[in-house]
C-alpha cells in the first residue's frame, strides 16, 4: 500500500537481463513491466483479483480492466 515500489516488491522479476525490454521504447518497457508485474502478483495470490487489487493499491475494477486489456487470464 506504499506510494513507491521498492526493490523488495519486484525482486522476483529479472528485468535487467530481459533483452526484450532492453530493445523497447520507455513507454513500451513500462507497459511490459506492468503486465509482467500484474501477472506475477496474480500467480502469487492464486489469481484472486480482489486480493491482488488490494496489494497493488488499485480498485478491483481497474485491475479487471488492465488484465482484460493485457490479455491476462
pLDDT tens track for 25-41: 888 888 888 998 999 99
What is the DSSP code (8-state) at residue 44? H
Q: Terminal CA-to-CA distance of the chain, rounded, Å?
A: 24
User: Could you tell me the pTM of the whole model?
Assistant: 0.70
pLDDT tens string 36-62: 899 999 999 999 999 999 999 999 999
Amino acid at each position: 500500500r506504499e506510494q513507491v515500489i521498492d526493490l523488495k516488491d519486484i525482486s522476483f522479476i529479472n528485468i535487467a537481463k530481459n533483452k526484450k525490454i532492453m530493445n523497447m521504447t520507455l513507454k513500451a518497457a513500462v507497459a511490459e513491466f506492468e503486465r509482467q508485474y500484474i501477472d506475477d502478483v496474480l500467480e502469487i495470490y492464486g489469481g484472486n483479483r480482489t486480493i491482488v487489487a488490494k496489494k497493488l493499491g488499485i480498485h478491483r475494477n481497474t485491475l479487471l480492466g488492465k488484465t482484460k486489456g493485457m490479455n491476462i487470464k
